[in-house]
Chains A and B, each alone.
Chain A
Amino acid sequence: MPNNGGKYKVKELAELMKYAYAYTLGCVRCRSCAGYYVYDDKQIQLKGCPSYWRYKFTAFSAGGKIFLLNKVHQGLVDFDEDLAEVFYKCTTCGLCKENCIGTVWQLTESFDPVRIFELVRAELFARGLASPKHKIFVESIIQNHNPYREKHEDRFKWMPAHIKIDEQSDLVYFVGCTSSYRRDEIAKATVEILHRVGIPFKTLGEEEWCCGSPALRVGARELARELAEHNVRALEKMKVSTVITSCAGCYRMFKKDYPEMLGKLPFEVLHTSEFLERLLDEGKLKLEKEVPLVVTYHDPCHLGRHVGVFEAPRKVLEAIPGLTLVEMPRHRKSAWCCGAGGGVKAAYPDFALWTAIERVKEAIETGAKALISTCPFCSHNLKDAIQQEAPFLAFYDLTELILKAMP
């Protein structure tokens, strides 16, 4: 039987497959990865994998992809455009891991579906099989340090004039590309909160480059590593003790991927939701204004399922006077993806929008009047869905809502 073991371009994939091949056979293709089944709560069944439910073929479920990988390892399936289509039409949201009941995800942390799919993407990328759209934004990251083909010098153009940067502060706000160029209301709200609470902070300024998340997700691993090295070096130079970010994608990079690439980071990394929670606990953040609103919270995959931050944003929301938080059936570890991640928004915008519309419908069914999240990229996609499907539903980033409640 042919064996592809020695034929991988990506060393990590070859290493993984040395022992993972056996695990790939552990999948019985029960499709639980694609479904979501609640025994103890409400006993309902809901869609669990955006890719499978959008594209319908078994291959798009995690089990299908794992089975394909098995065939690739045996040399029965090639790395080609057909395989690339299956592996790239996936938001890498990781819900499959939560839903999987029969196979081996539980056995070892390193046998994580998102990690595996990203390694396969790295192999595809190395073979020139990424989507043209991915190649464009990767090229833009190389040239402009952001995936949006925007000028690097415009990165902080959004910064309000009254906000003072304190170069002596050991707190850095890492803004991220999407907040800088596409959802600057989140960046503005974040610095406004810091300003009003009286917390001195600084930014990386022109040394802030893309965190590398978009590159890593589509398989440009080397580029992601270069970006990680640059950003960490710049932060080390500034001698910072804490980095906060309002982007779930950046947060995952700093919290999970950077340490994997570079080892333990010499500074603390907090998502704004965690930082706000800390400010509330320390009594520094006062939320006094009533915000009489029924809201529901969307867990970004990169913040929630991938890193485990579920409670901080909820605690902050619950601290807002007059606000009522209602949960969607799919929440926390079981949250449905917004649809934007994994390079999907760029390469398959119709799939991204379909996924977001599913989420917006779920939000509406809770009776909430506003959908809240903590990620500019989720915001970007969910707002597109709201505009098309439910213009009556408001959308706020957590930081925007906090501003409303501050005196």
Chain B
Amino acid sequence: MLVLHIDERKVEALREKYLKGLSWAIETANRIPELRAQRKYPKEKVYRELVDLLGEDRVTMNKAICAVHGTNTLGWKYHSPPDIIAIPLNTEEVQEIVRIANKYKVPITPSASGQSFGSVIPHLGGILLDMQHMKYLKIIPEEDIAVIEPGVSYAELCLECHKYGYTFPLGTFPPFTSVIGNIFFASGGIHRRSIHGGKPGGLTEVLGIQVVLPDGELLVLGSDDPPYWWTHSYIGPYWQGLFYQSAGTLGIVTKAAIRIWKRCEEERLLVYGSPSFKNTFNFCQTLARNWLAQDIFVLHWGWAIYKKHRVRYTNELAEDAIKARHMRDPPPGVPYNFISIMLEGFKEDVDTREKVIDRIAAQNGIRRIPLEELKAKWPWLYEHFEVWYLKNLPVRLEPYGGITGSFAIMSHVPTHKVLEIEEYEVDHMLQKIEDKHPGWICATGYLAWPVDGGRLWFFRTVEFLNDFSDDPALMTAIKEEASTEIMATHMPVLRALGWMGGVAYPGFDMAAIAAADYPGPYKLWKKIKKALDPNDVMNPSVLMAVPDNPEEG
């Protein structure tokens, strides 16, 4: 056990800030009907103009169809559907729709794959711009790029890349989710080349974009001339950053040129089992600092074993996992951490590095797990690795078995704080939540990997709630309780310990907290938004509809 250096005053300040932000968020969210009513516009007229533009097949005011987009998958309880859904098939149609929205000052919420995280809930009604059928996809092998539209999914991109001998870093996203949606949301997950890049979906993967601005004009950053898509030859600041993580508030990305990678002669997967995170950390840092692998990926056993696997794999191991005493103590025969390592290169190079890595593993008390053993003992884990690494395809989710809520916190962690943060997460956060909700948690644990040659680590910690009640109120209450516990109790401690994450995006549920966390960037964002979008049509519920929090000063 480490001695955790927790600055209690800092924790208390962060907790207080969160709780104030939360009450402000609830107060604001309760005003949704009132705020919606303020955004009056001639619905029928707007609908008619959209039908004239797109045809009746691609515009609807059907209340049931719209209702699907009224709540996100994370269970945000305020049901707030769009008034109209419009399905464009190309950039020109997006421009025209945005012009119509501007003409009537209608809120417009872009959505790429329909999965609906918080940023695409049209809290103020208006038009939901459903871009899932914008499917332009072109691989340009001579430039190592793919040009894609928002409707292109991971599955489509991967399969197309394979035709040219290329690959694209995959996240933990289901095959049919949007690549652009995830890139610009900055989602985290496994990365085929994590050791070099960081988290997938980072802006570094994007080489050029086309954006429809709030007035309907098209902005091209990079070139729309395919051979030169990669160039950043425009003047001024790095404008692409404006549209990254801005949740469609400043513009709608309709096309992006993204970096793809040529596959190597040899691709080899090595899997290791570690008895403790300290061993894991020392081992992985050595590999990362010496650039010995393309990808290093660490799994806490609680995630790897996944209690949910009792659904699909009824075996003793899963039963043991359910009965395990503590998140620190894996069931017998299960390593504390699973470590997967991907090697790519020429065969001779990969052979040499494999030997070196085996030696470093032995020096750190870490055991190599042959793939046959992995397949026999932990088939679901093998299947994931096989699909991700060897077949280089997005992984399908496992049967969830009634999982109705999940919490994921993810962020970069400074290397010198990694051990402390891991300890707090496992011993204080995950274990306490397990203790508090016995039978409700079906998977707990973290994914982690060193980034940028071991300069930082990326941690993604997840809880899956597994509930079987037919009482929506009870389930909502439990989810909210668990969520609040993480945000109010554990996040302040983690951040005091050096966890670098905060609120990723604002929105009705988070705006006040985001404003309190990052007052400078938040105010700048609002100023830019006002300048670019005077009619406040672009996804207004994310940023502008939320009145300024008194906490902002």
Q: A197 CB to closest chain B CB, in angstroms?
A: 45
Q: Is B20 an interface residue (CB 8 A)?
A: no
CA distance A310 to B266 in the complex (A): 40
Q: Does A101 contact B (CB under 8 A)?
A: yes
Cβ–Cβ < 8 Å partners of A73 in chain B = 472
Most buried by B among A3, A18, A86, A101: A101
A276 nearest CB across to chain B (Å): 37
The distance from the CB of A189 to the nearest CB of chain B, in whole angstroms, is 40
Contact indicator B115/A30 (Cβ below 8 Å): yes
- Verify B311–A21 contact, CB threshold 8 A: no
CB distance from A97 to the nearest CB of B (A): 12
| B interface size (C-beta, 8 A) | 58
The CA of A29 and the CA of B177, in the complex, are separated in Å by 9
Q: Which of A25, A37, A57, A67 contacts B87 (CB 8 A)?
A: A57
Q: Which residues of A contact B545 (CB under 8 A)?
A: none
A68 to B156, CA, bound (A): 27
Using a CB-CB cutoff of 8 Å, which residues 456-473 of chain B contact chain A? 467-473
Contacts of B162 in A (CB 8 A): 43
Q: Is the CB of B475 within 8 A of A64?
A: no
Output the least CB separation between A226 and chain B (Å): 31
Is B370 at the interface (CB under 8 A from chain A)?
A: no
A329 at the interface (CB under 8 A from B): no
Which chain B residues in 403-442 approach chain A with CB under 8 Å?
A: 403-405
Quote the shortest CB–CB distance from B72 to chain A (angstroms): 9
**A307: interface (CB < 8 Å):** no
Interface residue B65 (Cβ < 8 Å from any Cβ of A): yes
Pick the contact of B73: A18, A29, A57, A59 (CB < 8 A).
A29
In the complex, chain B residues whose CB is within 8 Å of the CB of A31: 113-115, 132, 174, 176-177
Contacts of B71 in A (CB 8 A): 71
- Residue B68 CB within 8 A of the other chain: yes
Is there a chain B Cβ closer than 8 Å to A394's Cβ?
no
Asked if A44 is at the interface (CB within 8 A of a chain B CB), the reply is: yes
CB contacts under 8 Å to B, within A197-247, are none
Q: Is A76 an interface residue (CB 8 A)?
A: yes
Q: A43-B162, A82-B64 are in contact. Are A102 and B402 (CB under 8 A)?
A: no
How many cross-chain pairs have Cβ atoms below 8 Å apart between A and B? 163
Task: Specify which chain A residues have a CB less than 8 angstroms from the CB of B199 in the assembled complex.
Answer: none
Known pairs A30-B397, A35-B175, A71-B79; A56 contacts B58 (CB<8 A)? yes
Distance between Cα atoms of A103 and B311 in the complex (Å): 11
Q: Which of A67-88 contact B (CB under 8 A)?
A: 67-68, 71, 73-74, 76-78, 80, 82-83, 85-86
CB distance from A121 to the nearest CB of B (A): 14
B116 within 8 A of A: yes
CB distance from A108 to the nearest CB of B (A): 10
> Is there an interface contact between B174 and A106, defined as CB atoms closer than 8 Å?
no
Taken residue by residue from 61 to 92, chain B's Cβ proximity to chain A (1 for < 8 Å, 0 otherwise) reads as 01111011111010101010000010100000
Contacts of A28 in B (CB 8 A): 73, 115, 174, 397, 400
Residue contact A26 to B400, C-beta cutoff 8 Å? yes
Q: A18-B470, A32-B175, A82-B62 are in contact. Are A26 and B403 (CB under 8 A)?
A: yes
Judging by beta carbons under 8 Å apart, are A25 and B397 in contact? no
| Interface residue from B403, B404, B470 paired with A17 (Cβ < 8 Å) | B470
Residues of A within 8 A of B469 (CB): 21-22
Residues of chain B with a CB closer than 8 A to A26's CB: 400-404
A392 on the B face (CB < 8 A): no
Check B68 against A102 for contact (C-beta < 8 Å).
no
Query: What residues of A have a CB within 8 angstroms of the CB of B77 in the complex?
Result: 1
Chain A hits for B85, CB < 8 A: 57
* A90-122 near B? 1/0 per residue, CB < 8 Å: 000000000001111111000000000000000
Bound together, the chains give a CA A306 to CA B85 distance in angstroms of 33
Query: How many whole Å from B451's CB to the nearest CB in chain A?
Result: 26
Distance (Å) between the CB of B167 and the closest chain A CB? 13
- Select A25's contact among B57, B116, B475, beta carbons within 8 Å: B475
Chain A residues closer than 8 Å to B62, beta-carbon distance: 59, 82, 85-86
User: Most B CB atoms within 10 A — which of A19, A28, A67, A106?
Assistant: A28
B176 with A35: CB separation less than 8 A: yes
State the CA gap A266–B405 with chains docked (Å): 46
Least CB distance, A41 to chain B, in whole angstroms = 12
- Distance A78 CA – B398 CA, assembled complex (angstroms): 32
**B110 vs chain A, min Cβ distance (A):** 14
Contact of A64 with B68 at beta-carbon distance under 8 Å, contacts A5-B470, A19-B470, A107-B399 already known:
yes
B279 cross-chain contacts in A, Cβ below 8 A: none
Cβ 8 A contact of A29, one of B65, B79, B115, B393: B115
**B133 at interface (Cβ–Cβ under 8 A)?**
yes
Given contacts A29-B115, A56-B133, contact A39 B393 (CB under 8 A): yes
Task: Give B344-382 interface residues, CB cut-off 8 Å to A.
Answer: none
Q: Establish whether residues A104 and B400, one from each chain, have CB atoms under 8 Å apart when the complex forms.
A: yes
A23: Cβ under 8 A from any B Cβ: yes
Give the residue name and chain of the A residue nearest to B77 (CB): A1
| Bound: A39/B174 CA distance, A | 13
User: How far does the Cβ of A105 sit from chain B's closest Cβ, in whole Å?
Assistant: 8
Residue B484 interfacial (CB < 8 Å): no
A45 at the interface (CB under 8 A from B): yes
A328 at interface, CB cutoff 8 A: no
Contact in complex: B470, A77 (CB < 8 Å):
no
In the bound assembly, the distance between CA atoms of A23 and B402 in angstroms comes to 5
Does B159 have its Cβ within 8 Å of any Cβ on chain A? Answer: yes
> In the assembly, what is the distance between CA of A74 and CA of B67, in Å?
12
- Verify if B537 is at the interface (C-beta below 8 Å from A): no
Highest count of chain B CB atoms <10 Å: which of A25, A31, A68, A73: A25
Cβ contacts under 8 Å, A37 to chain B: 155, 175-176, 396
A195 to B155: give the CA distance in the assembly, Å.
Answer: 52
Task: Tell yes or no: B276 within 8 A of A by CB.
Answer: no
B387 contacts A by Cβ under 8 Å: yes
Given A26-B403, A29-B116, A71-B67, A102:B174 Cβ within 8 A? yes
Residue on B nearest A73 in the bound complex, by CB: B472
The answer to whether the Cβ of A58 comes within 8 Å of any Cβ in the partner chain is yes
Asked whether A86 lies within 8 Å of B64 as measured between CB atoms, the reply is: yes
The residue in chain A whose Cβ has the minimal distance to the Cβ of B468 is A22
Chosen A-B contacts, 10 in total, with CB atoms closer than 8 Å, are: A31-B177, A32-B397, A45-B155, A56-B87, A57-B130, A58-B130, A77-B67, A78-B63, A101-B396, A104-B399
Not counting A22-B475, A30-B176, a sample of 20 additional A-B residue pairs whose C-beta atoms are within 8 angstroms of each other reads A19-B468, A19-B470, A22-B402, A23-B402, A26-B401, A26-B403, A29-B114, A35-B153, A35-B175, A37-B155, A43-B159, A57-B68, A58-B114, A64-B68, A64-B114, A77-B63, A77-B67, A80-B63, A85-B65, A102-B398
A-B pairs with lowest CB-CB distance, top 8: A30-B174, A102-B397, A25-B404, A101-B396, A58-B114, A59-B65, A82-B64, A106-B399
Which A residues lie at the B interface, using CB under 8 A?
A: 1, 3, 5, 17-23, 25-26, 28-32, 34-35, 37, 39, 43-45, 55-60, 64, 67-68, 71, 73-74, 76-78, 80, 82-83, 85-86, 101-107
Residues of B within 8 A of A (CB): 57-58, 60, 62-65, 67-71, 73, 75, 77, 79, 85, 87, 113-116, 130, 132-133, 153, 155-156, 159, 162, 174-177, 311-312, 387, 391, 393, 396-405, 467-473, 475-476
